[in-house]
Structure 1
Amino acid sequence: MTTPGELLLVALVEMAEGHTEAGQRYEDDVLAYLPRHGGVLERRMRTTDGPTEIHVIRFASRAGYESFMADPDRLTLREQVGAAAPTTRVIEVRDL
């Protein structure tokens, strides 16, 4: 259950064509930054064919999510990955 002020997200992560392994390594690395910002990866799933991941992520606050998105290490890593960087759609959700 989400408590007041928390932010619950589902991220649909599409690996760049031909770069599935590099994209998965990028996700391994960037998800490790979540605790810096009050974030927790609650669940990580991958499609059976591999090019898509689904993440359920909880942040203690919206400010934590915003600081995660602006994290200089995350931004540098994304720049280094270049064309192999996944495309992500983030959806804000709530528990029922």
Structure 2
Amino acid sequence: MTVQLCVLLWARPGAAEAMAAYEDKVLALLGEHGGRVVQRARADGADGRPDEIQLIEFAGQDGYDAFMKDGRRVALADERDATVARTDLYPVTLSGA
């Protein structure tokens, strides 16, 4: 069954560009796990809003699990911790509308 997610990301103060660069690296791994970015948008992070919003889709749960455990992604944990203050992840159903 397809796994569809909405990811909201908040950068640490002054780290929005570095967070986007980190996300570029990890999102590049999605295809190897049957995943893809459906949409990615950057916001201003003002007034509690996230700095980045992503809609991501995986062909199945196994692909998502493999992505989360990917050694290259895990090796970037320090970079993630230095740039990402908060992540909210929600399962969603994507529509064509």
**Pairs within 5 Å for 1:3-82:** 5-47=1-43, 49=44, 52-82=51-81
Q: Percent identity?
A: 38
Task: List runs of 5+ in structure 2 lacking aligned partners.
Answer: none
Is the CA contact 1:26–1:85 (under 8 Å) kept in the aligned structure 2? no
Corresponding residue of 1:85: 84
Q: In 1, Cα distance between the equivalents of 2:65 and 2:90?
A: 14
1:23 counterpart SS class: helix
Q: Report the RMSD for the aligned CA atoms in angstroms.
A: 1.7
1:63 counterpart SS class: helix
Structure 1 runs (4+) greater than 4 angstroms displaced: none
Offset of 1:86 from its aligned partner? 4.8
Q: In 1, Cα distance between the equivalents of 2:66 and 2:60?
A: 10
Q: TM-score, normalization: structure 1?
A: 0.84
Structure 1 residues 62 and 87 mapped into 2: Cα distance closer, same or farther (>3 Å)?
same
Is the CA contact 2:4–2:58 (under 8 Å) kept in the aligned structure 1? yes
Task: List runs of 5+ in structure 1 lacking aligned partners.
Answer: none
Q: In 1, Cα distance between the equivalents of 2:62 and 2:40?
A: 22
Q: In 2, Cα distance between the equivalents of 1:24 and 1:65?
A: 20
Offset of 1:88 from its aligned partner? 1.5
Q: TM-score, normalization: structure 2?
A: 0.83
2:62 counterpart SS class: helix
